[in-house]
């Protein structure tokens, strides 16, 4: 039976990955320090004989007894709200955490997968964004702590691949949504849904004409799994190219929730990307992957999850 370590395993994406690998008959070691993850996300997995939880900060030395076949590094604050509050921790988990997890993968002769992000493209001057685009990032801006941590993590991953011949994967994750996102996550979809369900004003930053391309979580997890089992060592975009303005996204959520909320506009945060859309030709050709769940279908499922947790 294959054994996988998932750092950040109690987070939004990490918990869905834990479920996926258990369903595929893997033994799963979930590692988290709950800085942004939650025990609630993995509570249903305790008691499963193929699931093990380890409370640990991955910026420190990692010890795992026995074999490890795969290491997936998903530990990191991942929303602007998080990495603005936790700038040092964000930089450390992207640098020290990546170094420690790569070292473990090397020692165990395991395949390593890095969770990178569309934020490596910054505020892009190329649209849509393909993997060969180097990005437009402000390294000293408030968002730079996340952007540069992930860019550094990619560089270190490729260095281990080239110097140590480590089998590595890099997934560049575009905006993802679905059940288990935190209610106060700070990103557009959870903020809009929470505000809409409470009939509170929906906060749109700027004029709302900036775009995002949002992918439902089950599609993303499927893409990550296929990438891990492939032989592709260089970065691959995983996301849904279906692009929408933030303003239209807010209106759609108001409609789906039958909300009485009004939209209010606030100043655009520093270095907020104007456009975001993945070019997924590489994922289509190499992995045979593309998203299957429509934005509307995914939003309906996510709204139902939020209603349960808000006890509505």
Q: Which residues are designated catalytic? A: 146
Distance CA 53, CA 55 (A): 7
> Taking the mean position of all CA atoms in its chain, how far away is CA 141?
21
Whose CA is closest to 55, among 33, 38, 77, 36? Answer: 33
Whose CA is closest to 78, among 146, 166, 152? Answer: 146
Residue 306: helix, strand or coil by DSSP?
helix
Cis peptide before 254 (omega within 30 of 0): no
Assigned token pair, 75? 């530990």
Give the Cβ contact number of residue 308 at 10 Å: 10
Residue 3: helix, strand or coil by DSSP?
strand
Tokens 């020692």 map to which residue? Answer: 107
| 70-73/111-117 β-pairing | parallel
Distance CA 252, CA 198 (A): 16
Please report the sign of the dihedral spanned by the C-alpha atoms of residue 238, residue 242, residue 245, residue 248: negative
Q: Which residues pair with 237 in a beta bridge?
A: 172
């Amino acid at each position: 039976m294959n054994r996988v370590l998932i750092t950040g395993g109690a987070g939004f994406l990490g918990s869905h990955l834990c479920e996926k690998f258990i369903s595929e008959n893997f033994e799963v070691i979930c590692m988290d320090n709950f800085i942004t993850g939650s025990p609630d996300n993995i509570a249903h997995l305790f008691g499963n004989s193929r699931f093990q939880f380890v409370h640990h900060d991955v910026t420190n030395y990692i010890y795992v007894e026995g074999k490890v076949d795969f290491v997936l590094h998903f530990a990191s604050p991942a929303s602007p709200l998080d990495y603005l509050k936790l700038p040092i921790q964000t930089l450390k988990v992207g640098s020290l955490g990546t170094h420690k997890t790569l070292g473990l993968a090397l020692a165990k002769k395991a395949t390593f997968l890095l969770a990178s992000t569309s934020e490596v493209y910054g505020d892009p001057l190329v649209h849509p964004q393909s993997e060969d685009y180097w990005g437009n990032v402000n390294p000293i801006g408030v968002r730079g702590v996340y952007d540069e941590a992930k860019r550094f993590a990619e560089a270190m991953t490729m260095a281990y691949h080239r110097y140590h011949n480590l089998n590595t994967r890099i997934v560049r994750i575009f905006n993802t949504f679905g059940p288990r996102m935190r209610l106060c996550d700070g990103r557009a979809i959870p903020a809009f849904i929470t505000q809409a369900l409470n009939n509170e004003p929906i906060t749109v930053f700027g004029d709302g004409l900036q775009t995002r391309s949002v992918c439902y979580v089950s599609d993303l997890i499927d893409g990550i799994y296929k990438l891990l089992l492939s032989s592709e060592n260089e970065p691959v975009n995983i996301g849904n190219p279906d692009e929408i303005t933030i303003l239209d996204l807010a209106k759609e959520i108001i409609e789906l929730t039958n909300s009485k909320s009004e939209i209010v506009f606030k100043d655009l945060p520093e270095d907020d990307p104007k456009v975001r859309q993945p070019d997924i030709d590489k994922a289509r050709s190499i992995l045979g992957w593309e998203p299957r769940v429509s934005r509307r279908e995914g939003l309906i499922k996510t709204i139902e999850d939020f209603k349960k947790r808000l006890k509505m």
